[in-house]
Amino acid sequence: MLNGHGDDLHLIKGQIKHNFSSNVFYKGCPPAILENLKNQLHNIQNYPSPAAEELNICASKRYNLSAENFLFTNGAIEAFYLIAQFFRRKSATIVGPTFSEYEDACRINKVNYKIVRKNIIQEHCSDLVFICNPNNPTGSVFSFKQIEQLVKGNPLTTFVIDEAYIEFTAATTTVAPLVEQYSNLIIVRSLTKTFTIPGLRLGYIISNPMLIECLKAIRIPWSVNGLALSAGKFLFENYDELLFDVHDLLEERKAFQEQLQRVSSIKVQPTNTSYFLVKLLKGKASELKNFLIERGILIRDATNFTNLEGEYIRLSVQSHLANQQIIKALKSWV
């Protein structure tokens, strides 16, 4: 795991008032989830089910798929490492710049990988292809049609589509329905970002039943803890009621970006999500990060994303107060 990706709040000494380094929904975990967890605390005295298969049934109802199409994991991270383990010593293509854990999972499992740009992916398909959709950190997207064309046109390649942020965009939709039609498709989803529960670690894989069985055979038992399992059941039973309005979130992001664009010496990059890259026209991202930490603000230094050249930071829309504070701080830094 690469230090510096995601939320590195645990590395910071001092008080952080406004955290822009994480892409989770900024308003926090819905109170109903916290209340449900509080009522389930007594269950930590018992072992959860070894494979969390109760959640398969919950998810199957939401997606109108079979329970055999699902495998729940300890966050999306476990899913990527399981997939790389299953494809050990094979070849992989990663569409970048993107989430670093695809690289780490491939390296640890001796998967020979290369990182290519989105516009040349068709020329570089291998045994395995990782696509983050929407992409982290750029916020770019593949359409449903584009994904299907890749999957259909390359039947000997297995495509891993990371949809951890699919609910943070209105520009594309999940390709989950395609798993019934194509056997070379794996979708990885996360409940972490949407419902602000990164501490619970709850993700899942959607794929054909044969591949699900293969992955299940190599995963450790009890990787999904009892509280995460309880929260997952509650979430799927109340999904739409707990889900934020993506259009409202994107309107907030648009207003935030427009204000940032008035700050000299930075260039805001286009995005289809609530998070986006900002290119620094002067100075270093590491210096800016330290400057902002001193003012109680944490950002993501994006310079360690492979294939991202230049000095970049990643921001994610936060509360109106937080957004105003970082704009003020950026103006003073410039």
Q: Which of 186, 217, 241 is the last residue of a domain?
A: 241
Task: In whole angstroms, give the CA distance from residue 1 to residue 269.
Answer: 26
130: domain CATH number? 3.40.640.10
Task: In whole angstroms, give the CA distance from residue 219 to residue 81.
Answer: 10
State whether 233 and 261 are in the same domain.
no
State whether 159 and 73 are in the same domain.
yes
State whether 100 and 138 are in the same domain.
yes
Q: Is residue 1 part of a domain?
A: no
Instruction: Tell me which long-range contacts 111-118 makes (C-beta under 8 A, separation of at least 24).
Output: 111/84, 111/87, 115/306, 115/307, 117/307, 118/142
What one-letter code names the amino acid at 63?
Y
State whether 296 and 183 are in the same domain.
no
Assess whether pLDDT exceeds 50 at residue 4.
Answer: no
Q: How many CA atoms lie within 13 A of 238 on its CB side?
A: 15
Assess whether pLDDT exceeds 70 at residue 260.
Answer: yes
Q: Is residue 97 part of a domain?
A: yes
Using a pLDDT cut of 90, give the percent of the chain over it. 90
Give 166-218 pLDDT, tens digit per residue.
999 999 999 999 999 999 999 999 999 999 999 999 999 999 999 999 999 99
State whether 148 and 224 are in the same domain.
yes
Which distant-in-sequence residues (6+ apart) come within 8 Å of 156 by Cβ? Answer: 127, 184
Confidence of residue 16 (pLDDT cuts 50, 70, 90): confident
State whether 257 and 218 are in the same domain.
no
Q: Is residue 76 part of a domain?
A: yes
Q: Is residue 89 part of a domain?
A: yes
Task: In whole angstroms, give the CA distance from residue 215 to residue 95.
Answer: 23
State whether 201 and 293 are in the same domain.
no
Prediction pTM value: 0.95
Say what the pLDDT of residue 9 is: 62
| Helical (H) or strand (E) element with 314 | strand 312-316
What one-letter code names the amino acid at 325?
Q
Q: Which domain, by its residues, includes 196?
A: 31-241
Task: In whole angstroms, give the CA distance from residue 235 to residue 169.
Answer: 20
Average pLDDT over residues 66-87: 98
Average pLDDT over residues 227-254: 97
Q: Is residue 4 part of a domain?
A: no
Q: Is residue 216 part of a domain?
A: yes
State whether 14 and 145 are in the same domain.
no
Q: How many domains does the chain have?
A: 2
Assess whether pLDDT exceeds 60 at residue 6.
Answer: no
Other CB atoms within 10 Å distance of the CB of residue 13: 5
309: domain CATH number? 3.90.1150.10
State whether 88 and 100 are in the same domain.
yes
Q: Which of 203, 222, 241 is the last residue of a domain?
A: 241
Q: Is residue 119 part of a domain?
A: yes
Say what the pLDDT of residue 8 is: 62
Q: Please state the φ and ψ torsions of residue 105, each to the nearest 5 degrees.
A: -65, -40
| Helical (H) or strand (E) element with 113 | strand 112-116
State whether 42 and 79 are in the same domain.
yes
More confident residue, 125 or 231: 231
State whether 258 and 211 are in the same domain.
no
| Helical (H) or strand (E) element with 161 | strand 158-162
State whether 278 and 223 are in the same domain.
no
Q: Is residue 162 part of a domain?
A: yes
Q: Which of 241, 267, 283 is the last residue of a domain?
A: 241
